C-alpha cells in the first residue's frame, strides 16, 4: 500500500494562495479517487469556511486537539465533508495556540502525534498553514514529509523565501529529517502581462526541480467559490481555475509516486 503523503501548504507571506490551493488541490485529489484529509491550521479558518463549514458551529476543532490530550481525533474529524474528503476544522480560538503551545510538552510534535492515529486512512494530507513561521507552522513542518510552496506571480514573490527555507532546514535538522520542499506552485498567473512571464522565469531559475509545470491562472471563479462554501469543481468545473487545479493534482500524484521510495 502506498504510504500517506503529508504536505504543509506554507508561505509566511499573506494572500499568496495557500488556502485556495489547499481547498482546490484537495478537491481535485479527492475527485481523482485519492482519500484526502485537509487540516485547517490557520486561525483565520478560511479553509473551513471555504468548504462551507461554519467555524462558529464546528464544536471541537484542531485547537482543542492540539492543546488538550483528552480530545481525540475522532471527536473532531469531519469524515463526511465530500466523497474522499475529510476535514480537521479550525476556529478563531486557534490564535491562542501559538502561545499556549509554548508551555506544552513536545510542543513541536503535537500535530505529528495527532496525525499518527489517522494517517493510514488517507493517501494525502494537506495542511493549510497560517501566514507566519510560528509554532503552528513548525508543527505542520514537523508532521509533514513535504512542503508545497505557493508563490504569487508578482514582483518580490521570492522576498522572504530565505526565512522559510531556513525554517524548513532547521526543522529538518532538529525535528523531522523527512521534510523537504516538495513543490513550488505559481498562483494568480496572468498570461497577458510581461511581468508574469518574468516572474515565472525567475522562479524557474530558483526552483528548477521543484516548480510545478502547471501555472494557476488568476481566475475570478476561484476567488468567488469560497463565498458559496464551494470548491472550484463544484462552483465551475469548466473554469480555467478548475482545469489548472486538476492538472496540478495530476502532477502532485505523479511526483508523489516518483519519490515514493525515497520516503519509505
Residues that bind ligand ATP (CB under 6 A): 14-20, 42, 44, 46, 131, 187-188, 216, 218-219, 222-223, 241
Closest distance to ligand ATP from the beta carbon of 218 (Å)? 4
Q: In whole angstroms, what is the distance from residue 77 CA to residue 225 CA?
A: 23
Are 48 and 89 in contact, with CB atoms under 8 Å apart? yes
Near Mg ion in 42-81, by CB under 5 A: 46
Q: In whole angstroms, what is the distance from residue 12 CA to residue 7 CA?
A: 15
- 187 contacts which partner out of ligand ATP, Mg ion, none, CB within 5 to 8 A by kind? ligand ATP
If the CB atoms of residues 44 and 84 are measured against ligand ATP, the closer one turns out to be: 44
Task: Check binding of 5 to Mg ion (CB under 5 A).
Answer: no
Task: Check binding of 18 to Mg ion (CB under 5 A).
Answer: yes
If the CB atoms of residues 42 and 123 are measured against ligand ATP, the closer one turns out to be: 42
Residue written as grid cell 492543546: 67
| Nearest residue to the partner Mg ion, using Cβ | 19
Closest distance to Mg ion from the beta carbon of 69 (Å)? 28
Residue 158's alpha-carbon distances to 46, 153, 161, 203, in angstroms, are 24, 10, 5, 8
Are 29 and 204 in contact, with CB atoms under 8 Å apart? no
Give the rounded distance of the alpha carbon of 192 from its chain centre: 28
Closest distance to ligand ATP from the beta carbon of 15 (Å)? 4
Task: Check binding of 214 to Mg ion (CB under 5 A).
Answer: no
Task: Check binding of 19 to Mg ion (CB under 5 A).
Answer: yes
Closest distance to Mg ion from the beta carbon of 150 (Å)? 10
Task: Check binding of 34 to Mg ion (CB under 5 A).
Answer: no
Are 225 and 232 in contact, with CB atoms under 8 Å apart? yes
Task: Check binding of 239 to Mg ion (CB under 5 A).
Answer: no
Q: In whole angstroms, what is the distance from residue 213 CA to residue 247 CA?
A: 9
- CA trace torsion 159, 160, 161, 167 (10° rounding): 180
State the residues that interact with Mg ion by CB under 5 A: 18-19, 46
Amino acid at each position: 500500500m502506498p504510504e500517506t503523503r503529508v504536505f504543509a501548504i506554507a508561505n509566511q507571506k499573506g494572500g499568496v494562495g495557500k488556502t485556495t490551493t489547499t481547498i482546490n488541490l484537495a478537491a481535485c485529489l479527492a475527485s481523482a479517487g485519492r482519500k484526502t484529509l485537509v487540516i485547517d491550521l490557520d486561525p483565520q479558518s478560511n479553509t473551513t469556511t471555504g468548504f462551507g463549514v461554519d467555524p462558529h458551529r464546528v464544536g471541537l476543532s484542531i485547537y482543542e486537539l492540539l492543546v488538550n490530550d483528552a480530545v481525540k481525533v475522532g471527536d473532531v474529524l469531519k469524515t463526511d465533508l465530500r466523497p474522499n474528503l475529510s476535514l480537521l476544522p479550525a476556529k478563531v480560538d486557534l490564535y491562542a495556540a501559538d502561545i499556549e503551545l509554548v508551555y506544552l510538552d513536545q510542543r513541536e510534535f503535537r500535530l505529528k502525534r495527532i496525525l499518527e492515529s489517522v494517517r493510514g486512512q488517507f493517501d494525502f494530507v494537506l495542511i493549510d498553514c497560517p501566514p507566519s513561521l510560528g509554532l503552528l507552522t513548525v508543527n505542520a513542518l514537523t508532521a509533514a514529509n513535504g512542503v508545497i510552496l505557493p508563490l504569487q506571480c508578482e514582483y518580490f514573490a521570492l522576498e522572504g523565501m530565505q526565512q522559510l527555507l531556513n525554517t524548513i532546514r532547521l526543522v529538518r535538522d532538529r525535528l523531522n529529517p523527512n521534510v523537504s520542499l516538495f513543490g513550488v506552485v505559481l498562483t494568480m498567473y496572468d498570461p497577458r502581462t510581461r511581468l508574469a512571464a518574468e516572474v515565472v522565469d525567475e522562479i524557474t531559475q530558483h526552483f528548477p526541480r521543484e516548480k510545478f509545470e502547471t501555472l494557476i491562472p488568476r481566475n475570478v471563479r476561484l476567488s468567488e467559490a469560497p463565498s458559496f462554501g464551494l470548491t472550484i469543481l463544484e462552483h465551475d468545473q469548466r473554469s480555467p481555475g478548475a482545469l489548472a487545479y486538476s492538472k496540478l493534482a495530476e502532477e502532485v500524484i505523479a511526483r508523489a509516486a516518483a519519490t515514493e521510495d525515497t520516503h519509505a
